[in-house]
Amino acid sequence: MKKSKNGRRAIIAGIAGQDGSYLAELLIERGYKVLGFMKKGDDTSVLSHLLKEIVLEETELVQKDDIIRWTRIFSPDEIYNFAGLSFIPDSWDDPYRAIQVNTLLVAAFLEVIKDHCRESRFYQASTSEIFGAPPESPQTESTPHNPMTPYGVSKLAAHQLVGLFRKMHGIFAVSGILYNHESPRRPERFVTQKIARAAAEITKGKREKLKLGNIEARRDWGFAGDYVRAIWMMLQTDTPEDYIVATGESHSIKDFLQAAFKHVGLDWEKWVEVDPTLVRIVDVERLVGDYTKAREKLGWIPKVSFEELVRMMVDSQLQKIEVV
């Protein structure tokens, strides 16, 4: 394979997703050669502007032999893993699948790096869901883990495997404990994108109501484009460490509704219905991240505000309607 301008190569597992696509853009801008893993049938529309500059491989990634083959062919300097189940309710429907894709795949990557490409640096997409119902708020990297969903359990197992391999085998492996991060590339089934789409459709007369569950639920929401900067920075340091990536601000779904509908000149209360059947079985509380370590050691801070993020997502939905 042809060398990139700066000679650096990266593998992105889950490249067709929100985070993978933003990271691919960042790496291409920095002169990397990028190989992306994706599941068969994945929508590559978010990569359409990059298809001439990246190499894509369709694979389920559950076979360690595939990872060995591609690491030998591609000789990556960095490996970023975003692959896995990310929609939390799905983990209740199929906890076995959650463990399979969120935990066992990470074990396979770590084994391959240990045995075949020890110079490669590895990033694992961890999550605030490992804290679940935390004893303190905001959370830091040392806050005790207490996952409340099969998704959280599967991600915590992967998170701990990364720390274990780093300590026992001396490989450069880190976990980014990312809090909720959104963008116009967020899949439609996530509540933030549902709200953005509804606001756009209602203001254009294409919809009458939006039904939601618990609108008092609170999250620490940031912009995915900001967060991939922190992810890249984690692999550029001299010492591998885990970092929280967050905004340090808590907003409710009601706040998101208000900002989205205000952007199109509407009162959300006239258009939104609360449906008790949509309330999650278990919902986490007080998840707010303290990103002090990332700020002090990486020099990272979030740039896009909550209000800017909401407007960005609504504007994207309005553009989609105009195209149609």
Cβ 233 vs Cβ 166: under 8 Å: no
Per the residue annotation, which of 32, 151, 227, 291 is the catalytic one? 151
With residues binned 3-state (H G I as helix, E B as strand, rest as coil), the percentages for the chain, rounded to 5, are: 45, 15, 40
96 is catalytic: no
Question: Measured between alpha carbons, how far is 253 from 255 in angstroms, rounded to an integer?
Answer: 5
Question: Measured between alpha carbons, how far is 120 from 231 in angstroms, rounded to an integer?
Answer: 15
CA distance to 166, 248, 262, per residue, from 251 (Å): 35, 10, 16
129 is catalytic: yes
Per the residue annotation, which of 129, 182, 201, 249 is the catalytic one? 129
127 is catalytic: yes
- Pair of tokens at residue 185: 């590339």
Integer-rounded Cα radius of gyration of the chain: 20
- Pair of tokens at residue 13: 């597992």
Q: Where are the beta strands (DSSP E) in the chain?
A: 9-13, 33-38, 54-58, 78-81, 121-127, 173-178, 181-182, 210-212, 218-219, 222-223, 243-245, 251-252, 272-274
CA distance to 35, 79, 111, 123, 130, per residue, from 20 (Å): 11, 11, 22, 12, 21
Name every residue whose Cβ is closer than 8 Å to that of residue 324 and which is 6 or more positions away in sequence. none
Per the residue annotation, which of 103, 127, 192, 203 is the catalytic one? 127
Tell me, letter by letter, the H, E, C secondary structure of 177-246.
Answer: EECCEECCCCCCCCHHHHHHHHHHHHHCCCCCCEEECCCCCEECCEEHHHHHHHHHHHCCCCCCCCEEEC
What residues act catalytically? 127, 129, 151
